[in-house]
Every structure is written in structure tokens, then in C-alpha cells.
Amino acid sequence: MTPLWYFLFGLSIFFMIFWSGKWVVHLLAIVYAKYRLHRKAQLLPLETGYPGVTILKPLMGADPNLFSNLETFFTMNYPLYEIHFCIEDESDPAIMVAKRLQGKYPSIVSKIFTGGSNVGVNPKINNMYEGYKASNHPLILISDSGIRMKEDTLLDMVNHLKDNIALVHQMPFTCDRTGFAGTLEKVYFGTAQARIYLAADLLNINCHTGMSTLVRKHLIDEAGGLEAYSCYLAEDFFLAKSMIDRGWKITVSSQPAWQNSGICEVQFFQARLRRWVKLRVAMLPLTLLFEPLSECLVLGACTAWAVYFLFNWDPILFCLVHTLVWFFCDWILLSIIQNTTLPFNKFDFVIGWVVREACSPYQFLKALLSPNIKWRSRTYKLKWGGVAEECKV
Ligand SMILES: CCCCCCCC/C=C\CCCCCCCC(=O)N[C@@H](CO)[C@H](O)/C=C/CCCCCCCCCCCCC
Ligand SMILES: O=c1ccn([C@@H]2O[C@H](COP(=O)(O)OP(=O)(O)O[C@H]3OC[C@@H](O)[C@H](O)[C@H]3O)[C@@H](O)[C@H]2O)c(=O)[nH]1
């Protein structure tokens, strides 16, 4: 036995253990999704009454779905809330959209804050800052521009905010949209991302993505206000981390976040996922190893080699069975998360799934090879740890 043999033996054991762990994650995600998601929210008579919520809507630009997405915030079944539209640029067309909605729903309290602030690097925080300062309620809902709400979504989120919970977030998912990009997005958010998101929630690991987050305002203030997170681009991750560090819990609500941005293009989607990869790598460097390895094809190939090395099993057959079972687990998970008929047939799912799986390792590499981060109109550089710096041209 040479040192090389020992090294290869160790490596193959590592692949086998990681592979087995990944199947546990598959199983946990499916069972947890079934048990946790799509529970009916009820307006219960609470002794203390329902707490008021300030909804912060950071807007930048108007897409074709903006009006109808924002309208869903005016038709929610929740007793006490206000909407603060935050729009940095005073000539932004989103202002007109917000004003039209204010005219249509005069009974809902809403205000528009323009101009933004400059409290740090994160442009979403700079944009929301004035709206946050003017908030009048103990709960804050940070809600990105492309999110749609159902009538009972806010109620569902508040119902999940038990006494030991600081923050309730919605697992990212998408509305039914036509075209290949719509399929690709739904497949990604309903399989690869949902699996990790659900397993992380179950195991109390911080996986918070801040597109729709209900949080206790006094806990943000205790940490120094929203500006305390403005040195990071991934303010969502650090917001949740600061709650967990203080002994609080975070949890997902039973409804996923229905993203419905009017821009639904493959290029745009891939660029967004690459931006998120860069955030994760800077915040959690172990991602560099574990993320590519947890991809179906990469893990299948590595483990096929391991079982060939250890047991002399046929690696091709192993890979085929591995991929097929993974594919079926993904179909089951996606169907549970969708909870209604999917907007595409099984053939479209196969195409979307294969493209997603095949492109993902390449997109990961591409993200590593261009470390600067372009987010909307600005470019940033990230330091290890996640602190960001804007690149001025
Ligand atoms: C034995 C199996 C181990 C599995 C290792 C998994 C490695 C991670 C693989 C894929 C990452 C998926 C990422 C999930 C969603 C993150 C979306 C995102 O990037 N959002 C950012 C922008 O809003 C946000 O700032 C970052 C949020 C937190 C990211 C944390 C990711 C690490 C999660 C690791 C969870 C492991 C759970 C499995 C436990 C066995
Ligand atoms: O310069 C900007 C960029 C973005 N935003 C707002 O921030 C929200 C999220 O922006 P995008 O939709 O471009 O980005 P993402 O969906 O990738 O955001 C997600 O990932 C990065 C995290 O920091 C965010 O909290 C999370 O929502 C939108 O409401 C957008 O209007 C600004 O207000 N200013």
C-alpha cells in the first residue's frame, strides 16, 4: 500500500460519506416540505390583538408586472399594516406606479419615500432607510419588488412569529411563467435551492434569503438599526446571523415567496445566481468545496469513481441510477412545493432539469473567475467575510 493508495482510499470514503449525507438531505427536504409548507393560515382571536406591520418596498425601475405585484399588497387580509415605498431615484417610473396604487386604494395607509440615504454600501438598505426610520409598527416586512402576496400570506408569516422567533422568511419560489426561463427558474428554486433551504431550516442553519422577511423591529434597533448591516451586500444573511447570535430562532413561513418579476430571461437569471454564489463564497469559504460537490452530476461522477475504487462496481451504471433517482426526488420535491398543477409538462421538466444541472458547475466557475459583483446599476468588490466596497468608475 503506497501513500497514494491511502490518499485515494481516504478520498473515496469522503465521497461516499458526502454522497450518503446528500441523500439524507433529499429525504429530509421532501418530508419537511410535505409537513411544513402550504398550511392554511387562520385569523385567530389573539388576546393581545394582531401586531401592526410596516411593509418596506425597495423599488428600482418599473417592469411590466410591477403594478399587479404591488397591488397584491393592497388586498391582503391583515388587520393593521402600512406600506412604505422606498424609491431612490426621484425620476424612477416606479413612483408613478406606486401613486396609481395609492389612488386606487385610499383606505390602505401607504407613503412614498424618495431620494434614499447613504448610510453604507448596501443599496437596498440605503434605499429602505428613510422608510424604516418612519415605520410606526413593531414588525417590519422587507419585501422585494418582484414579490406577490396571497391574501393570507402576511397573516401566515405573523402566525409563525412565536415568542422565541425573531424572523420569519419565505423560501424563494416563483409564480407560473411562460417560456423556458420561467421553467428553469421554477426548476432551480423548487429543487436544488429548496432542498438546501428546507434542510437548513429544519437543522436551524442560517440560509436566510431576504426577498420576503418579517422581523421584529426592536431587534434590528438593538443591533444598531438597519445601517448596522449596510457594510454587507448580503444584508439578509447577516441580519439573520445577528438574531441567531443573540439566541433567537429564525424560521420559514408555510408559503413560499412567489417571485414574479417582469424580467424573466435566462441570462438575467444566471447572472443573479452567479451574484449569489459570490456572496456565499465570500461569507462562507467552505462553499468553494461543498457547493460544486453537492451538484448531482459532480457528486455522481466522484462517487462512481469511489465505488469503482472500493468495490469495483460499474461506474457508468452507478452514475445512471444515481442521476435517475436524484431526478425523481427533485420531481417529487418540486411538486410538493408547487402544490397545484405545474405550468409545464414532464418533458419540459426534463429539459429544464438537465440544463440546470449541466450548467450549474460552469456557472459556479464563471462566478469565481469574475469576482466583482454587478447589482443593478452599481458594481461592488467583496472582501473575505462579506464586507463590500463599491467600485467607482
Ligand atoms: C452532506 C450534505 C451537505 C450539503 C452542503 C450544501 C452546500 C451548499 C449547496 C448549495 C447552496 C444552496 C444555497 C441555498 C440558498 C442561498 C441563496 C443565497 O445565496 N442567498 C443570498 C442572497 O440573498 C444570501 O445572502 C445568502 C444566504 C445564506 C446562504 C447560506 C448557504 C449555506 C447553506 C448550507 C446549508 C447546509 C444544509 C445541509 C445540512 C446537512
Ligand atoms: O441598487 C439597488 C438594488 C436593489 N434594490 C432593491 O433590492 C431588492 C432586491 O433586488 P434584486 O431583485 O435585484 O436582487 P435579488 O433578488 O438578488 O436580492 C436578493 O439577494 C441579495 C440580497 O441582498 C437581497 O436581500 C435579496 O433580496 C429589490 O426590491 C430592489 O428594488 C434597491 O433598492 N437598490
Determine, yes or no, domain membership for 289: yes
Q: Are residues 90 and 233 in the same domain?
A: yes
Which cell goes with 295?
451538484
The pLDDT score that the predictor gives to residue 46 is: 63
3-state secondary structure of 139: strand
Task: Identify the domain boundary among 263, 298, 331.
Answer: 263
The reported pLDDT for the residue numbered 47 is 62
Do both 15 and 106 map to the same domain?
A: no
235 and 128 part of one domain: yes
- How many Å lie between the centroid of ligand 2 and the Cα of residue 257? 14
| Residue 331: per-residue pLDDT | 98
**Residue 166 in contact with ligand 2 by CB distance below 6 A:** no
Please tell me whether residue 249 adopts helix, strand or coil conformation: strand
pLDDT at 253: 97
Q: What pLDDT digit, counting tens, does each position of 37-76 carry?
A: 999 877 666 667 899 999 999 999 999 999 999 999 999 9
Per-residue confidence band for 386, with pLDDT thresholds at 50, 70 and 90 = very high
Residue nearest to ligand 2 atom 21, measured at CA: 234
Out of 223, 240, 263, a domain closes at: 263
CA dihedral sign, ordered 319, 321, 327, 333: negative
DSSP assignments along 268-330, one per residue: HHHHHHHHHHHHHHHH-TTHHHHHHHTSHHHHHHHHHHHHHHHH---HHHHHHHHHHHHHHHH
| Minimal-distance CA residue to ligand 2 atom 28 | 144
Q: Do the domain assignments include residue 346?
A: yes
Instruction: Give the contacts of 366 (CB within 8 A, at least 6 positions apart).
Output: 274
**Secondary element (H or E) of residue 144:** none
Asked if residue 185 has its Cβ within 6 Å of ligand 2, the reply is: no
Residue 184 lies in a domain: no
Per-residue pLDDT at 45: 65
Q: 279 CB under 6 A from ligand 1?
A: yes
Q: Verify whether ligand 2 is closer than 6 Å to residue 127 (CB atom).
A: yes
Whether residue 242 is found in the same domain as residue 336: no
Residue 357 CA, chain-centre distance (Å), reads 19
* 72 belongs to a structural domain: yes
Nearest ligand 2 atom to the CA of 234 is 23
DSSP H helical ranges for the chain:
3-36, 66-71, 94-104, 123-133, 153-160, 179-190, 192-202, 217-222, 235-245, 266-283, 287-293, 296-311, 315-338, 346-369
Kindly identify the ligand whose nearest atom is closest to the C-alpha of 26. 1
Which CATH number fits the domain that encloses residue 229?
3.90.550.10
CA angle 283, 284, 288 (to 5 degrees): 120
The rounded Å distance from CA 375 to ligand 2 centre is 8
- Does ligand 1 have an atom closer than 6 angstroms to the CB of 207? yes
Q: Which residues are catalytic?
A: 236
Domain enclosing residue 336, as ranges:
7-33+277-390
**Tens digit of pLDDT for each residue in 272-294?**
999 999 999 999 999 999 999 99
Looking at residue 330, its pLDDT comes to 98
The answer to whether the beta carbons of residues 190 and 173 sit under 8 Å apart is: yes
Cβ proximity of 343 and 182 under 8 Å: yes
Q: Are residues 59 and 28 in the same domain?
A: no
Nearest-angstrom CA–CA distance, 342 and 176:
8
Ligand 1 centroid – CA 23 distance (Å): 16
Question: What is the SS3 assignment for 225?
Answer: coil
223 has pLDDT over 90: yes
Co-location of 257 and 301 in the same domain: no
* Distance in Å, CA 82 to ligand 1 centroid: 32
Domain contains 179: no
ipTM above 0.90, yes or no: yes
**Average pLDDT in the chain:** 96
Ligand located closest to 380 CA? 2
Query: Domains in the chain: how many in total?
Result: 2
Each residue of 101-144: pLDDT tens digit? 999 999 999 999 999 999 999 999 999 999 999 999 999 999 99
Report the distance separating Cα 101 and Cα 288, nearest Å.
44
With the C-alpha atoms ordered 143, 149, 151, 157, is the resulting torsion angle positive or negative?
negative
